[in-house]
Structure 1
């Protein structure tokens, strides 16, 4: 009996231990489950197997987000690359240009600027590249282009560039020198923003001439050699003869706007040349000279008493000019004329978003201090009045320029001018070479234009 009781107690104890162990394992499993993220729904305790309960409680696997993930998932600003076609004198290697580009890109971190160099003239000029690219590869066209003021009218009338009216900071446009504004305007529209200006004027040896020769009669009575470039360019009238012709009162077009030879003005000009030849004040050698700098060494050596010089050359060599004085190019009636030249920024892109940044770039280079520094370093005339006075100070030469600039006109570029210019140049050559009288040369010019 006693053995039976011990067996029952042992059996009950063994069952109790097994049950207790199972319960402990179950509790342990549920405890492990509680470390998982809650499902948001309570699970009824019951006969559901443990593995199934754990499966239900298991959350969807998802990686934790980090700050870096958040930043990378946000849309990044698009970087715009502005393309500028420039010439050799306007390169990123220039300290001033590099400085301004750096400032611009710092102020506009999503904009970069790339400059591609083109020739100043000829077949590889920026103008010719604009023409060809528009037809065959418009995708390579720049956002901005730097053009010679002589090319600006052609680019405008061929619809290669965009108008700048009411697009740039008004304070900059209103601050332009009148001569500069003339250079940038075509057909009454602001086609380009001039950033430098140049023109030719007279320079004479003060040991030979005491008073500035203002009129042609002053030149003839001086008895001093007066040499100027008379060859012209590409068989067209050069700046010197064009200045003489227009100062004689020449009208370049008739009432209908067509090119015309002003016979009276041309005759006066050719008579002046003939009288100067007879008095040996000029000679036929000037027909071999296209640019004023070609005679500069002769003037410095004293071989020439009067000649023409660009403001750029005068500013560059000014320290060498101890016995020289500037003056207006002598005229027929005391109203001198100077042919202005320069360089402009022109807008090419028609995309509004790109235009916005391109215009900002123009404005960066047109700030008063930048325009003044550019002029000083390049030995040219600044185009903003505020920059001009900053450079000029009380310098007598700059005072002369401020007055002489009132006589500046752009190089004519209307339809028919090329043919007119060739006819006028031929008349000049005929008289200086003594191939025709002034009257006959005028008749030939009229016939050539018809």
Structure 2
């Protein structure tokens, strides 16, 4: 029995030795776990939420004279242009409020009072004339327009129009609706006359000639324009020199016209351009200086008036330019941007021409003037006037000289002195 066990042991050793050159294969038993696989975390995907910018409301104070209550169609036209602008913008609306233009409760006085006690009630934009614009700048009520108006809009204006809205080389007002001075006359009083009138035109055709010559301070606009056209110079930096020859030339015309009965001292009783309107349209007067807006209104009422330039020594055109200018009131730069875009929109030549024709004034853009005539006036005539215009000269620019030449005119109109004597008196007053 022991012998058999020995034999089997030897056989087992022999078999093990034969497998020693092979790689042993390890069989692994798969392991299982009763732990559940984690459920994937589902993160919901959301669409981006667009946060709209807040709605901006621009407020405009529109002078009544540019939107008269008597003709609501004018305001409707303006509102249509505003609505078209709003449609081209995003998150913007415009509110238009009609305001008195002058006196207590007018635009300037309200800006002054509200800026101190209720600045939130101020408009973003409004319109002003030259004299109010200067006062508003001095009171820090309006903002410079630099960077708000396109070069295309500015290049479409005459140099005098830009000067009208400027102070100390800074642009504060964008000229919008303009007015100039003209002579209106009865067609039967003079025939075959061009628009260029000289002093000789009045004397040769024996035309009565009226204008608001009366002034308690300063000098009347018409005589000043004629003096400047004869060689006088406007104030520069608050100083105005007297041109003796220009003064005597202009006074000599009035001396001659008085001697032949074409004018007299009653001119000094007229202080506004509407004082003699009834006499002019009735034919009692041959000629009278009027604003272009007045002439347009009378022509629209079918009064058969003709128009000419203010008579001068040489016959070259001269006029005074004034009008309504866009100004930006808000000091918020974020609101100034859309306010500037709105001004540029309204200054478009086609829109401006349309509104100017409806309101009875002149558009400031030369392209708007070139597109059509106004009350029978050829566009080139109007452009020539604007290119030979002076802005209003205020008394405080050079009050002494202005008062002296006004007194010289009054003396000649009354027949108290000759033109030569009145000129010498003026020179002596300034040199003494």
Would you say the 8 A contact 2:296–2:375 is kept in 1? no
1:231 and 2:195 are equivalent in the alignment: no
2:54 to 70, 78, 102: 78
Q: Distance in 2 between matches of 1:423 and 1:214?
A: 26
C-alpha distance in 1 between matches for 2:158 and 2:147: 18
Checking the alignment, whether the CA contact within 8 Å between 1:243 and 1:336 is kept in structure 2 is no
1:101 alignment partner, one of 71, 82, 96: 82
1:148 Cα shift?
0.8
- 1:209 equivalent in structure 2: 190
Deviation by residue 1:114-163 (Cα, 9 ceiling, x = unmatched): 33444323344323333444455544433212101333233334443222
Aligned to 2:202: 219
CA separation of 1:154 and 1:439: change in aligned 2, threshold 3 A: farther
TM normalised by structure 2 equals: 0.77
Deviation, structure 1 residue 230: 1.1
Q: CA offsets per residue over residues 395-444 of structure 1, 9 Å max, x none?
A: 55434223232211211248533554444333333332345554565535
Checking the alignment, whether the CA contact within 8 Å between 2:209 and 2:286 is kept in structure 1 is yes
Q: Which runs of 5 or more residues in structure 1 are unaligned?
A: 1-39, 43-63
- Report the Cα offset of residue 342 of structure 1: 0.9
Q: Secondary structure at the match of 2:141?
A: coil
Q: Do residues 359 (structure 1) and 305 (structure 2) align?
A: no
| CA offset digits 1:13-66 (Å, max 9, x no partner) | xxxxxxxxxxxxxxxxxxxxxxxxxxx979xxxxxxxxxxxxxxxxxxxxx9x9
Cα distance between partner residues in 2 of 1:339 and 1:198: 8
Residue matched to 2:26: none
Listed one character per residue, the Cα deviations across residues 71-112 of structure 1 (whole Å, up to 9, x for unaligned) are 7xx644222222223311344951112112222333335223
Q: Contact 1:150 / 1:341 at 8 angstroms: preserved in 2? A: no
Is 2:261 the partner of 1:280? Answer: yes
Alignment correspondent of 2:316: 335
CA RMSD of aligned residues (A): 3.5
Aligned-pair CA distance for 1:447: 3.8
- Shift in Å at residue 394 of structure 1? 12
Structure 2 residue corresponding to 1:198, chosen from 174, 179, 182: 179
User: Which residue of 129, 132, 139 maps to 1:148?
Assistant: 129
**2:108–2:136 Cα contact (<8 Å) kept:** yes
2:65 and 2:101 in contact (8 A); partners too = no
TM-superposed CA distance for 1:282, in Å, is 0.8
* Runs of 4+ with >6 A deviation: none
What corresponds to 1:377 in structure 2? 358
Task: Say whether residues 1:128 and 2:109 are aligned partners.
Answer: yes
The 1-side partners of 2:176 and 2:382 are apart by 17
Deviation of 1:340 (Å) = 0.7
- The structure in which a higher percent of residues are helix is 1
Against the structure 1 CA distance between its residues 446 and 84, is the aligned structure 2 distance closer, same or farther, given a 3 Å change threshold?
farther
Deviation at 1:198, TM superposition (A): 1.2
Please report how far the alpha carbon of residue 345 of structure 1 lies from its aligned counterpart in structure 2 after TM superposition: 0.3
Asked if the contact 1:423/1:449 (under 8 Å) is kept, the reply is no
**Structure 1 residues 411 and 393, CA gap change in structure 2 (3 angstroms):** closer
Instruction: Specify which of 138, 142, 155 is matched with residue 174 of structure 1.
Output: 155
